[in-house]
Structure 1
Amino acid sequence: MTETKHSQLVDSVRRDILKLIQEHNLAPGARLVERKLGEELKVSRSPIRKALQALEAEGTVERSPQGGIVVSEVPAELPPHPGAADENEVYYKLAEERLNGQLPDRITENFLLRHYDLTRTELTELLRRISNEGWIERLPGYGWEFQPMLDTVTVYQDSYRFRLTLEPAAILEPSFVVNREKLLKCREEQQRLVDGGIWEASNAELFDSNSALHETIMNCSNNTFFSDALQKVDKLRRLIEYRKSLPRDRALARCKEHLAIIDLLLDGKLETASTYMREHLSSVSLEKTSDQEAATDAP
């Protein structure tokens, strides 16, 4: 490891220890054990020891008369990490690089730490987020594996043709029962977007809000096969949706259509809602796949 990389690792570990002191509310006198810190931060004892030496020089930790290192002063706030980017910026950069084929199917945490200049804590939060979204899974040990996703225009179009068959039909299932509580919650979220939230929402937030509505409607069918199928498609299409989300004025129009579908369902007008759902998906499919084709054909 070069001197520069070693210094970056030690600084990253130093910040992680500071964050652990804060998060665990460790009071002055609390003992810090190198081995336990290494296990929690998944690094060897050498950078742990050097990070503790740096913290000792700063006065945050000190050597106990009984031996070992203890907390001396609880930091009021973490110092800024000069190399770290905004959390969402790193998230979208990772998503874009994965979609572009710049990242392998399997990856190590040490590579991610260096590549995105993250602290261990920041990386843990990032991996937790994308793991919860279903596009990466932990391997035995410290490695991770990216899950399959939609990464071509043709397959993306196929996903919409599948949804056009599935979602309108689900509303007409004999077992379909309107879940008023959950639909009203979705309506509140869609109304928030229509009332101006659409202009501030990130691509990820917009995707989550809209996919949650469609999955809620699908769950009303009380057909496990329908619900599972849509959830799987949503996981597969998440990253390509980030790449080319609709312009916000067009996304606003689609959120208004969501409100109309919800109101039809709440009024018990299932056949009309099914027809409207088909029209809605057809319009969105045409807009998004034509945009994807334009992006692909662009020089």
Structure 2
Amino acid sequence: MINHLASKIVEYVRAQDEPNGMRLVERKLAEHLKVSRSPVRSALKMLEEQGLLKTAETGGFYVDWDGRTVPASLTDPQSDDDDEAYMKIAGDRLSGDLPDKVTESELARRYGLTKAHLGRVLRRIAGEGWIDRLPGHGWEFLPMLTSMQAYKDSYRFRLTIEPAAILEPTFVLNRSSLEDCRQHQQRLIDGEIWDVSNPDLFDINSRLHEAIIECSHNLFFIESLKRIDRLRRLIEYRQSLNRKYAIVRCREHVRLVDLLLQGRMVEASEFMTNHLSSVSVMKTVAD
């Protein structure tokens, strides 16, 4: 998803008359691409790593290329092989079979990948925030939730902050963002859920919860949830619900957004509590 968004941002920049030096505003890009700001931020960071953007002194990014040349990684669509390699690395990291620090040559040999193929996968992982490039040619995996107890604790923490965020006095609806999230959930209900990958399903669902908590304008709530989402990404792939149950959760997401859009905040907060409680039980009951 991050690679796809990066490609869309490149298309947007190339459509401008004089792209070089143009400032990119995260909020406007999110509205243009009809996604939340979090994945846009990851895509911008990925483009910065590839030398197409630079960080502005006042924050944010500006274009630092002429808009004509585009990296092959952004013009070549991701293949099923990319997803397979991604999931193998995720699974091995979650099971503890990969050390904290790795080199590209080690990963290429282990998974039988070409340099270009591995590069696409590593950029995707870096964009999602669970690996960082080290000086030189190495990479370091970032801390993630790996135990079921920590996973359960993450849901207990979410039960504390997410319902409370809806009742914050600073809570103001971002209607366009929530409506966009609702559309994504409805498409899943209408059939897309049977084809979407576990990573993409995680992104769609976590984006909805982050869009809701962003309406609180409470920085501590917002950053806490985003950090939890980064930490739980890998274990969520293993704990993903059977799709027939996941559809029920998508319907609950739609109901939750409808309550918010109708201004029924107390009901929405209570609904959030029930939603998170039932999901956590379903995902951890086998333990």
Give the alignment's TM-score, normalised by structure 1.
0.69
What is the rounded CA distance, in whole Å, between the counterparts of 1:290 and 1:227 in structure 2?
28
One-letter amino acid of the counterpart of residue 247, structure 1: N
Report what 2:192 is aligned to: 197
- 1:244 Cα deviation after fit: 2.1
CA distance in 2 between partners of 1:237 and 1:290 (Å): 17
1:108, distance to aligned residue in structure 2 (A): 0.2
- 1:136 has 2:136 as partner: no
Overall identity of the aligned pairs, in %: 57
- The SS at the match of 2:285 is helix
- Tell me, in whole angstroms, the C-alpha distance in 1 between the residues paired with 2:131 and 2:199: 16
What's the RMSD between the two structures over aligned residues?
Answer: 1.5
The one-letter amino acid paired with 1:142 is H
Give the match for residue 111 of structure 1.
Answer: 106
Alignment of 1:259-298 (within 5 A): 259-291=254-286, 293=287
- Structure ID, larger Rg: 1
What is the rounded CA distance, in whole Å, between the counterparts of 1:128 and 1:255 in structure 2?
Answer: 29
The structure showing larger relative contact order (alpha-carbon pairs under 8 Å, at least 6 residues apart) is: 2
Deviation at 1:85, TM superposition (A): 7.5
Q: C-alpha distance in 1, partners of 2:246/2:147?
A: 22
Unaligned runs of 5+ in 2: 1-49, 51-75
Counterpart of 1:141 in 2: which secondary structure? Answer: coil
Match of 1:173 in 2: 168
Q: Distance in 1 between matches of 2:123 and 2:183?
A: 27
Secondary structure, counterpart of 2:248 in structure 1 = helix
Aligned to 1:89: 84
Q: 1:15-164 counterparts in 2 under 5 A? A: 86-164=81-159
Q: Give the ranges of 4+ consecutive aligned residues of structure 1 lying more than 6 Å apart after TM superposition.
A: none
Counterpart Cα distance in 1 of 2:121 and 2:84: 11
The answer for the alignment partner of 1:232 in structure 2 is 227
Letter in 2 for 1:272: E
Q: Deviations over 1:8-45 (max 9, x none)?
A: xxxxxxxxxxxxxxxxxxxxxxxxxxxxxxxx9xxxxx
Q: Deviations over 1:262-297 (max 9, x none)?
A: 000000101100000000000001001113x1xxxx
